[in-house]
């Protein structure tokens, strides 16, 4: 099953992957050094048939993340027995440096689960329901997206025509390490592999594209980018898609980006575009590796394409 579906309330600033997480009163038994544990209450939204995960809408975890609906990894699948949508539960959430899990799952009375059980935000807004459209296949032309760079400059995707482009979709307030943060960590490692290969191609660029353009303003993107790129920004841009752009990429890449009340829901999609602006490869979820992405970029860059338009050097 694809891991990577997450719904986040757009209320609080997120924490970067290097931030310190303070444990709540959660049981710390069985944790490894560096793990952080949180005791959480919520309501089951879905019990995926594939097993191993649980979709839960939980209350705010102070100091870590706001109310969210997430597909969470279950450590002991025996704890899923008997659970169904609508059940109020309490559980332990453990955040590690690279991933997470939940355990100690137990049913509680609805009143104990807090306001998430009766929140009107659990019903998707009608304007988020869209007609089904066919996603792009390898070789199909990618729409020329309008982007607002971290510098504040507006550009289109065609500015990089002539280069292989890797695009991933995220937003800065997505907190768990194996969701949006993993996408950008993988970009950092893949970029390093390409930069370290003296005989490799040079016509490539990485784009981390936020779909939360209201919050992810240029300065926010700059600060967030520095967490992953450090002082070396070569070949990697952070940018925001307009709401219109989000509507374009959703059917194109089978990208789920919706809202529940004031919340975002999204899955994980990373797309490699060849120098002619056509889909070369799409990576779904978070199971792919930086090595796989770097190799796809090498292969995609071999296509002949027109010279990229002039933009600030990266």
What confidence tens digit (pLDDT) does each residue in 167-220 have? 999 999 888 899 899 999 999 999 999 999 877 899 999 999 999 999 999 999
Lowest average pLDDT, out of 60-64, 100-104, 257-261, goes to 257-261
E strands, the chain, are 6-9, 36-46, 53-58, 68-73, 88-95, 100-107, 146-149, 154-156, 164-170, 204-210, 236-241, 257-260, 263-266, 269-273, 279-284
Structure tokens at 205: 């660029």
pLDDT at 24: 57
pLDDT at 28: 79
| 68-73 sheet: strands from edge to edge | 100-107, 88-95, 36-46, 53-58, 68-73, 6-9, 263-266, 257-260
Biggest CA pair distance of the chain: 63
CATH homologous superfamily for the domain 128-301: Glutaredoxin (3.40.30.10)
Q: Which residues contact 37 (CB under 8 A, 6 or more apart)?
A: 23, 24, 26, 27, 28, 31, 92, 93, 94, 95
Structure tokens at 245: 């752009």
Confidence category of residue 243, pLDDT binned at 50, 70, 90: very high
pLDDT > 60? residue 279: yes
Mean pLDDT of the chain: 84
Confidence category of residue 19, pLDDT binned at 50, 70, 90: very low
Question: For 23-51, what is each residue's pLDDT tens digit?
Answer: 556 777 889 998 999 999 999 999 999 88
Confidence category of residue 261, pLDDT binned at 50, 70, 90: low
pLDDT at 5: 56
Lowest average pLDDT, out of 84-93, 138-147, 157-166, 258-267, goes to 258-267
Torsion of CA 265, 269, 273, 277, to 10 degrees: -30
Read off the pLDDT of each residue in 246-260 and give the average, rounded to a whole number: 88
Whether 6-121 shares its CATH topology with 128-301 is answered no
Domain boundaries, the chain: 6-121, 128-301
Residue 102 CA to residue 74 CA, distance in Å, equals: 5
Percent residues over pLDDT 90 in the chain: 62
pLDDT at 94: 94
pLDDT > 70? residue 129: no
pLDDT at 116: 62
pLDDT at 4: 54
Lowest average pLDDT, out of 13-22, 218-227, 259-268, 296-305, goes to 13-22
Confidence category of residue 20, pLDDT binned at 50, 70, 90: very low
Helices marked H in 173-281 — which ranges?
A: 180-196, 218-229, 243-252
Residue 176 CA to residue 180 CA, distance in Å, equals: 7
Residue 54 CA to residue 102 CA, distance in Å, equals: 9
Residue 292 is given by DSSP the state H
Neighbouring C-beta atoms of residue 207, cutoff 10 Å: 22
Which residue has tokens 């027109």? 306
CATH homologous superfamily for the domain 6-121: Copper binding periplasmic protein CusF (2.40.50.320)
Question: For 209-242, what is each residue's pLDDT tens digit?
Answer: 999 999 999 999 999 999 999 999 999 999 999 9
pLDDT at 262: 54
Confidence category of residue 257, pLDDT binned at 50, 70, 90: confident
Confidence category of residue 305, pLDDT binned at 50, 70, 90: very low
């Amino acid at each position: 099953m694809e891991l990577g579906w997450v719904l986040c309330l757009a209320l609080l600033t997120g924490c970067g992957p290097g931030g310190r997480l303070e444990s709540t009163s959660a049981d710390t038994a069985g944790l490894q050094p560096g793990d952080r544990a949180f005791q959480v209450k919520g309501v089951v939204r879905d019990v995926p048939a594939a097993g191993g995960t649980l979709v839960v809408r939980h209350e705010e975890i102070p100091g870590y993340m706001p109310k969210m609906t997430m597909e969470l990894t279950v450590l002991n699948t025996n704890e899923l027995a008997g659970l169904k949508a609508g059940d109020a539960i309490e559980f332990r959430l453990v955040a590690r440096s690279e991933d997470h899990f939940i355990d100690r799952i137990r049913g509680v009375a609805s009143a104990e689960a807090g306001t998430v059980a009766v929140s009107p935000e659990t019903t998707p807004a009608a304007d988020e329901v869209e007609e089904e459209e066919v996603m792009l296949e390898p070789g199909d032309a990618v729409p020329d997206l309008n982007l607002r760079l971290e510098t504040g400059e507006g550009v289109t995707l065609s500015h990089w025509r002539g280069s292989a482009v890797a695009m991933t979709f995220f937003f800065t307030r997505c907190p768990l390490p194996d969701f949006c943060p993993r996408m950008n960590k993988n970009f950092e490692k893949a970029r390093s592999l390409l930069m370290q290969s003296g005989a490799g191609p040079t016509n490539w660029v990485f784009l981390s594209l936020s779909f939360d353009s209201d919050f992810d303003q240029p300065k926010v993107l700059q600060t967030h980018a520095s967490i992953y790129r450090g002082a070396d920004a070569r070949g990697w841009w952070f940018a925001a898609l307009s709401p219109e752009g989000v509507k374009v990429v959703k059917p194109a890449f089978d990208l789920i980006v919706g809202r529940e009340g004031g919340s975002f829901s999204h899955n994980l999609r990373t797309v490699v575009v060849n120098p002619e602006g056509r889909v070369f490869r799409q990576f779904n979820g978070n199971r792919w590796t930086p090595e796989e992405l770097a190799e796809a970029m090498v292969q995609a860059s071999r296509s002949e394409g027109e010279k990229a338009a002039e933009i600030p050097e990266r």
